[in-house]
């Protein structure tokens, strides 16, 4: 009887290991095919954190192995949007945003903030889209789509 229990335990363990190995192989294949690309939503509302957040996004792309490995959307509202007004943006910030946009960074501006600041898309740096229901609604929508939420 004990030998039967030992054999049952041994075969059960081997079966469980095979199932786990198959699951891991499928997960690795999915990652290699880009199926499980990481998705991250960055939330920016404070003007004085603009450079810090853009640096974090650059580091995120670099740390993940490039834009093919991660999809990042920067959602901006409040005072921070002023940094992205074409007329006010520094050449360094403009160049950094353009570089990140080429890498695939999504740039979303809150419609409510745009109204409050009396700006339209043409007044912002290239690459922006409007969060037409507001920044916080877009952030919630992105989270429901599997995006990780970061507010540095």
The confidence band for 79, taking pLDDT boundaries of 50, 70 and 90, is very high
Distance CA 64, CA 111 (A): 31
pLDDT per residue over 7-23, tens digit each?
444 444 444 444 334 43
H helix or E strand, kind and range, residue 102: helix 91-102
Claim to verify: residue 93 and residue 121 sit in the same structural domain: yes
As a whole-number percent, the residues of the chain with pLDDT over 70 amount to 77
- Identify the CA nearest to 87 among candidates 112, 117, 58: 117
Claim to verify: residue 42 and residue 97 sit in the same structural domain: yes
Stretch 69-83: mean pLDDT: 98
Stretch 115-124: mean pLDDT: 98
Claim to verify: residue 89 and residue 140 sit in the same structural domain: yes
- Counting the structural domains of the chain, the total is 2
- What was the pLDDT predicted at 5? 52
The confidence band for 41, taking pLDDT boundaries of 50, 70 and 90, is very high
Distance CA 146, CA 101 (A): 21
- What was the pLDDT predicted at 1? 56
Claim to verify: residue 45 and residue 115 sit in the same structural domain: yes
Mean pLDDT of the chain: 86
H helix or E strand, kind and range, residue 34: none
List the domain range (segments joined by +) for residue 93: 37-150
Stretch 29-58: mean pLDDT: 87
Claim to verify: residue 29 and residue 54 sit in the same structural domain: no
Q: Is the pTM of this model over 0.85?
A: no
Distance CA 60, CA 42 (A): 11
Claim to verify: residue 41 and residue 31 sit in the same structural domain: no
- Identify the CA nearest to 135 among candidates 80, 89, 57: 80
Q: How many residues does the chain have?
A: 152
| Count of alpha carbons within 13 angstroms of residue 60, beta-carbon side | 23
Pairing of strands 106-110, 70-76: parallel
């Amino acid at each position: 009887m004990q030998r039967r229990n030992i054999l049952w335990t041994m075969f059960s363990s081997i079966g469980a290991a095979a199932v786990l190995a198959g699951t891991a192989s499928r997960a690795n294949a999915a990652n290699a095919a880009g199926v499980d690309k990481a998705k991250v939503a960055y939330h920016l509302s404070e003007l004085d954190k603009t450079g810090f957040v853009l640096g974090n996004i650059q580091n995120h792309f670099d740390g993940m192995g490039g834009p093919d490995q991660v999809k990042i959307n920067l959602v901006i509202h409040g005072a921070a949007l002023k940094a992205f007004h074409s007329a006010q943006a520094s050449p360094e910030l403009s160049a950094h945003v353009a570089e990140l946009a080429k890498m695939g960074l999504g740039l979303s501006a809150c419609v409510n903030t745009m109204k409050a600041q009396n700006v339209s898309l043409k007044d912002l740096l290239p690459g922006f889209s409007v969060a037409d229901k507001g920044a916080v609604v877009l952030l919630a929508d992105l989270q429901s789509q599997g995006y990780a939420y970061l507010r540095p």
